[in-house]
Chain A
Amino acid sequence: MLIQIVNLTKTYTIDGNIETPALRGVDLAIEKGEFTAIAGPSGSGKTSLLNLIGALDKATSGSISYEDKDITRIGISQLALFRLKEIGFVFQAYNLINTLTAFENVEYVMLLQGIPLSIRRKKAQEILNRVGLGEYINRFPHQMSGGQQQRVAVARAIVAEPKVILADEPTANLDSKTAESLLDLMRQLNQEKGVTFIFSTHDKMVMDKAKRLINLHDGKVVK
């Protein structure tokens, strides 16, 4: 078992009194190497769930354990370290740091991890070749298409060899052909490297690509 989620709730409080429940008791287990989609309409709690799994936000109650370590109980600077070591993120769009090239974006996470220059170089070049962007390494984000940017984001997420890659609607801003090829790439990397992928979507095509589908509705998992 890689991730164990028990009775997880998240309630946002706006202006100190209006409460919006986003997750109402989620129980979920994720095995190592899964390629799982969290599906559900807008507002169903997909982003909230991924943010909690990714240690970007604090749960209201319940627990999330990585290999039996409960991350809802660790402090904020420890969480940054945990994210750095264990989790790769791909967001919906504009994932990249604008002032860094594709190569530098991929290198960035390894840099934070303190990996030596020669290894960084090699790995960044390798992974960019792997996602089909070997020739684009010196381009800045604004010099690439949306699909290419998402590929760089995937490359950046995977290069540091995290336990899990969390992707919140990674194809939402892409046309269906580009979306499909990004999903195929993710699936190939999932198989080659054995990295766990959890991604959210409300797109039927993307759901079909997933090996496992978790349906979220009004903050609850539905069977």
Chain B
Amino acid sequence: MFTFLKIAFRNIIRNRRRSLITISAVGFGLAALIFIWAFVDGAHIQMTENYTSLLSGHIQVHKKGFQAKEQLEINIPNPQGIVSGIESNPKVLAAALRIKAFGLAASAQNSSGVLILGVFPDKEIKVSSIAKRIKEGKFLESGKDNSIVIGRRLAENLNVVLDDKIVLMSQAFDGSIASAAFRIKGLLDTGVEEIDKGIAIISYKAAEDLFVMQDRASEIAIRLKSVNDSELVASQIGQALNSSDLEALPWQEISPILKQWIEFDNGFIWIIVLVVMIVVAIGILNTVLMGVLERRREFGILLALGTRRRQIIMTVAWESLFLGVFGTIIGLILGYFLSLYFGKTGINLTIFTQALNAFYVDAFVYPKVSLGHTIISTSLVLITSIIVSLYPAYHAANLKPVDAIRSI
């Protein structure tokens, strides 16, 4: 056993140049894989973080059907008790009630369709980062129920500025006409067009009065300590709700499109994985097969002396595994430190900012190495290097000693 390992190892040393080229190819392949995967993972973390923190939260509780229609009639009665229940889950950071309805915002000159959002400012700050996206003025403060915050583009369309008055109009829960005037206290600039152009935020109290929604909420937005727990906690909450009318949706279901982008990227990664595996396979196959063909005579002599076929196979497999292992070590170190370095400095994508904003990606993306993905890439490279050795190994083991020895 040890002798075959020794023969394999010394063959690698003896063909130093060829081995180094192969090891580098394997190393660069793996490093590229780890880095690209870390980059994509980093971008995805940013996407979900940006998307969920902007407004949606990690999990939302609704009455079933609200997600599709967003109507006042589809609401959660007596929501306060539910909120306290949710907040007792140790993975939950905060939960905020919202009233949500479509309506019309009108200034003296113009009017525009908007999504009206009633929020508790103190709670909303803990669940979403919308308050931080105020460009001019400030966010709502509790107790000031005639203040309103609207999107910057909406303000342009309505031709209004800070401290101007606008009127919101809609139909209330009881079917009556809802109408009230508010003073603009803040202008939002999120970079997300649908928000900047079409949102108006008022206090929960004001929304209750406007829509006649006392003791009812449209949704409960929840922020967790870690976004990764979204699906798990959503199902925990769903069970705790103990109601066939209500549902708790993780962000994956709140924004199926975001989930689809991520799944698309992940599918794309597998193509890169495949390409790297092919590069590794060709590199190792070439080296090991050449080594075997050059050493036909030596294998013939090994066989003539009484070496078993499986011992020959082992020798060739060891050689291949050595190349794979050395390449993997180099690839791991290189890929890890490359990702770590750029994970600190970030990768500057400023030139793509316009396009990326639409995908909730910032100008700087921070690669993040995931243990799971690193294990997958590394094992795939190692497995490839072993599988690829089978062909040259069987070729060597099935040589006829007489023929092999004759061919000097």
Contacts and interface: CB of A to CB of B under 8 A. Distances in A.
Interface of A: 47, 51, 54, 56-57, 77, 80-81, 83-85, 89, 91, 93-100, 104, 108-109, 111-112
B10 interface: yes
Contacts of B309: 77
A91 B402 contact: no
A99 B3 contact: no
Contacts of A85: 306
Given A51-B402, A98-B298, A99-B14, A83 B305 contact: yes
B301 A98 contact: no
B303 A80 contact: yes
A83 B6 contact: no
9 A-B pairs closest in CB distance: A84-B306, A99-B10, A83-B306, A57-B402, A56-B401, A99-B7, A56-B402, A80-B306, A51-B402
B92 interface: no
Interface string B382-408: 000000000000000000111001101
B19 to A, nearest CB: 13
25 contacts: A56-B304, A56-B401, A57-B400, A80-B307, A85-B306, A91-B301, A91-B405, A93-B408, A94-B298, A95-B301, A97-B7, A97-B301, A98-B14, A99-B10, A99-B14, A100-B3, A100-B6, A100-B10, A108-B3, A108-B305, A109-B306, A111-B3, A112-B306, A112-B307, A112-B311
Given A57-B400, A94-B298, A98-B14, 10 more contacts: A56-B402, A56-B405, A80-B306, A80-B307, A89-B301, A97-B302, A100-B6, A104-B6, A108-B305, A109-B305
| Main DSSP-derived SS at the B contact region | helix
Given A94-B297, A97-B298, A98-B14, A80 B308 contact: yes
Contacts of B311: 112
B11 interface: yes
Nearest to B11: A99
Nearest to A82: B306
Contact of A112 (B6, B295, B305): B305
B298 A54 contact: no
Contact of B305 (A51, A77, A89): A89
